[in-house]
Amino acid sequence: MITLLINGQQRNDIRIMTGGSLSTTEAHVSSSSLTVEISIANEPLKEFDYIEIMDGTTYIFAGTILSVKQQSFDNINLTFQIFDLTIASNADFMSTIFADLGFPEGASATQILLGNQPGDDWYSSSLGSFYGLNYRIEQQGITVAQVDRFDDVILEQPSYLWGQKMYDVLNTLADVCGAYWVITYDRRFMFQSQASTTFAPESVDKN
């Protein structure tokens, strides 16, 4: 049974209509366009509402509504409204954030992701202390939950990521490491080896 939540509240009054599509790419990044029906007696959806779609206890999709367009019907007195939604996945927020960080020659992918600070298992005093990409991710209220070690992937020269979007930086790093990254429905960041998961790309259509 499909359950839809808006801002954490279950909305049994919203019906997903035929034609909505949800998809997950090989990079585990999702996107969606969805059409829903809502009674005019109930609260309509708004831009920046957070939507979660579940099948039983399994999350199908979660993200933020970017646009809400109401379909119009001339000369018809309806008791419901139909809205076309464009929804961004949590990962899409990384396309609005600049990395604006620099990393020294010899830094590993692990240090690029998680920084190089005294007390870290991967800390190297010869490189000096520096922040990792996790710094920018956590600034968005996202928890860094699971990051695999990529100590053997090493920068051959200094890298300065000024003006580069986090989305692009993470995609490039994932390609180099043979990894994928995802931000889950509950805003947890994971960056893992492709070999460490059996999670397969999928395309989901709910009619």
pLDDT digit string, tens, across residues 55-103: 888 887 888 888 899 888 765 657 888 899 988 888 877 888 999 999 9
- Please answer whether residues 74 and 150 qualify as being in contact, where contact means their C-beta atoms are separated by less than 8 angstroms: no
CA angle (156, 157, 158) in 5-degree steps: 135
- What tokens does 155 get? 């920068």
Instruction: Specify the 3-state DSSP secondary structure of 163.
Output: coil
- Please answer whether residues 194 and 176 qualify as being in contact, where contact means their C-beta atoms are separated by less than 8 angstroms: no
User: pLDDT under 50 in the chain at which residues?
Assistant: 26-27, 198-207
**What pTM does this model have?**
0.71
- Please answer whether residues 139 and 131 qualify as being in contact, where contact means their C-beta atoms are separated by less than 8 angstroms: no
- Residue 99 CA from chain centroid, whole number: 16
